[in-house]
Structure 1
Amino acid sequence: MAYKFVDNYREKGARKKLVRLLKDERQIEDTNVLDAIGRVPRHYFFDETFWNQAYRDIAFPIGEGQTISQPYTVAYQTQLLHIRKNDKVLEIGTGSGYQTCILLELGAEVYTIERQEKLFHRSKLFLNKMGYFPNFFLGDGSKGLSEHAPYDKILVTAGAPFVPEIMLKQLKVGGTMVIPVGDEKSQKMITVIRLNENDYERIELDTFRFVPLVGDQAW
């Protein structure tokens, strides 16, 4: 049975205000991404005590040393992917599942992997009860998910010390990876496009701060 969530006028109004902020002040231009953010009720991912924080443009703790990402960060990374309907997308770091829902709202076929067992089970149960059904996996996301490769897009939602070669090989030719790369304090957002079997184009963008990507091919 699906949860009976509260999504009253106040929450809908707050969500619209957040979308306007992302468009007007944060300069997110992809209307499909903005529409997806407008459809996913972010307060569902918070304890009711903290609903007043849900539509602020901030990250927020979700337990296990992880956070639900700042809406701007979610919009920024998603916009860089240029998701098209039925794109096969690998998400590294399920976390709360909020970013997963945005990808699904854009029509992607999502494969999402989480290393924290408690978060994995919690997010899987929660998203399924919300009516979202990505392909969930528990494991070391720093190695990607080779058994279901290749992917049109790969999104990494934690800060990596480098771009893992093993992940690049899981991209289709013409595919795009978005990954924050740097040290444990700050990372540059990197877009990598696979040009052919052996060549990649790498574009370095803005600075962010993510929780660290942990695993065999990371910290």
Structure 2
Amino acid sequence: MTSQTPTSFDQARFNMIEQQIRPWEVLDPQVLALLARMRREDFVPAAHKALAFVDMELPLGQPAVDGETMLAPRVEARLLQDLAIQPTDKVLEIGAGSGFMAALLASLAQRVVSLEINEALARTARENLQKAGFTNAEVRVTDAAANNFAACATEAPWNVILLSGSVAEVPPALLSLLAPGGRLAAIVGNEPVMRATIVTRTGEASFVTAQPWDSLAPRLRNFPEPSRFQF
């Protein structure tokens, strides 16, 4: 596959928005404008740069490791829209990957902390964010799920928590870290059925949950996997 010129990248970015993202009901003007200017190709591994705008997950390592991928562009866009990021929001992301989702979040929020279990990926994400000029996004190497999500609690409460991967269920320990009015987004369930899940904290111990669309995503590592056995 031949390399693409900046002009063809721009055309591919336009096509991605019009053919993948708008049809997935991502219509927020602010989100669409952000996707139009964000250079996704700069966050894609060199071996896959020509696929930066294709409707698929992209492996981040060589060799590819299960779960270490960039989510498909339409999934990233829909999650971003559903979280309704505000300029004053403090955001926690679990699963930094290449840093692209953190870049999108940091473009809209006050501050982003992104946790990544893989040290090599964290280093790449950090470098990608620095090259793109982000000073309000920090990548930390840690197992987010360890010790009942202790690493996630250090700067709580969070206005937004995004799980950039799938989980069997939303851990209550993470919901407790949301500020009043805070939102958590994750892709929840088991193959072949997973659903985007948006949880909003409406009170001290009250939450509202919506599951507006279906999707599949690789598992985040070390999250609780409740028994699926039923009598």
Counterparts of 2:12 and 2:210 in 1: how far apart (Å)? 34
Cα contact 2:21–2:77 (8 A) shared by 1: no
After TM superposition, give the deviation of residue 51 of structure 1 in Å. 2.9
Structure 2: how far apart are the matches of 1:24 and 1:179? 21
SS of the aligned residue for 1:197 comes to coil
Partner in structure 1 of residue 209 of structure 2:
202
- 2:176 maps to amino acid: K
1:107-146 matched pairs, under 5 angstroms: 107-133=109-135, 134-142=137-145, 143=149, 145-146=152-153
Which residue number corresponds to residue 176 of structure 1? 183
| Unmatched segments (≥5 aa) in structure 2 | 227-231
Q: Deviations over 1:164-209 (max 9, x none)?
A: 1110011001111111111255421111111111111111232211
Please report the TM-score for the alignment, with normalisation by the length of structure 1.
0.89
> Is contact 1:189-1:204 (8 Å) kept?
yes
Q: Distance in 2 between matches of 1:107 and 1:173?
A: 17
RMSD: 2.0
AA matched with 1:145: C
Query: What is the aligned partner in structure 1 of residue 86 from structure 2?
Result: 84
**Secondary structure of 2:98's aligned partner:** coil
CA pair 23-53 structure 1, distance change in 2 beyond 3 A: closer
Range with bigger deviation, 117-126 or 40-49: 40-49
Cα offset, 1:155, TM superposition: 0.7
Secondary structure in 2 aligned to 1:121? helix
Distance 2:191 2:24 in 1: 25
Gaps of 5+ in 1: 1-5
Distance (Å, rounded) in 2 between the aligned partners of 1:79 and 1:149 = 23
Provide the aligned length of Structure 1 versus Structure 2: 214
Correspondence for 1:211: 218
* Number of the residue aligned with 1:187: 194
Write the distance in 1 (CA, Å) between the matches of 2:97 and 2:171. Answer: 20
CA distance in 1 between counterparts of 2:105 and 2:225 reads 24
In the other structure, the counterpart of 1:104 is 106
The aligned residue for residue 72 of structure 1 is 74
Distance 1:62 1:49, change over 3 A: closer
Give the Cα separation in 2 of the matches to 1:218 and 1:105: 33
Counterpart Cα distance in 2 of 1:141 and 1:183: 20
Share of identical aligned residues, percent?
26
1:32 aligns with 2:30: yes
1:202 is paired with a residue whose SS is: strand
Q: Which secondary structure does the structure 1 equivalent of 2:86 belong to?
A: coil
Tell me the TM-score normalised to structure 2 length: 0.85
Partner of 2:15: 17
CA separation of 1:39 and 1:204: change in aligned 2, threshold 3 A: same
Structure-2 residue corresponding to 1:148: 155
